[in-house]
Amino acid sequence: MTDTPETEGRERILTAGTTAPDFTLRVTADQSLRLDELRGAPVVLAFYPADWSPVCGDELSVINAALPMLHERRAQVVAVSVDNVWSHEAFSSVHGLHFPLLSDFEPKGAVSRLYGAYDDSTGESRRALFVIDAAGVIAWSYLSPVALNPGVDGVLDALDALTPDERRG
């Protein structure tokens, strides 16, 4: 990955071929999700800066609208920000989201840091997308400028590029 104004001098996100670091994050106040629980099918992992920001709302709404296409490709979707579970629950309800929002709240940004998707200067996750194959290996990653909605075309292309073995683990 070459440096752009958005990435110059910053930690880089994890790239294709890297084993996706496992993590456990809260989905609700009393429910957690562990990445390893999703093994056996591709995972779309979307880091985003904050609930209630216009671009984040648009990005997650686009992902939500694309769920039928993602599910056709056997992909599961999870999104991560440093917001707390209460904010996620309200945000998800207002936007009608049908995938889990995971709280990287405490210790703040720990999982975002593992993936190179934490911005120390803002205290938020950066806008980063990962496609993880069924065996838990990153097949594709993309760091988007924070002010731009990256859409799902790259994700769909990355899922389509998976081999049958990468789709089923």
Decide if 146 is inside a domain: yes
Decide if 12 is inside a domain: no
Decide if 5 is inside a domain: no
Q: Which CATH number belongs to the domain containing residue 92 in this structure?
A: 3.40.30.10
8 Å CB contact between 104 and 119: no
Each residue's pLDDT, cut to its tens digit, for the chain (169 residues) gives 344 444 443 459 999 999 999 999 999 999 999 999 999 999 999 999 999 999 999 999 999 999 999 999 999 999 999 999 999 999 999 999 999 999 999 999 999 999 999 999 999 999 999 999 999 999 999 999 999 999 999 999 999 999 998 998 6
From the list 44, 56, 60, 79, the catalytic residue is 56
- Known catalytic residue at 157: no
Residue 162 CB: number of other CB atoms within 10 A?
19
Query: What is the count of structural domains for the chain?
Result: 1
Give the tokens for residue 69.
């296409």
8 Å CB contact between 144 and 150: yes
Decide if 7 is inside a domain: no
Decide if 2 is inside a domain: no
Decide if 3 is inside a domain: no
Domain membership of residue 152 as a residue range: 24-163
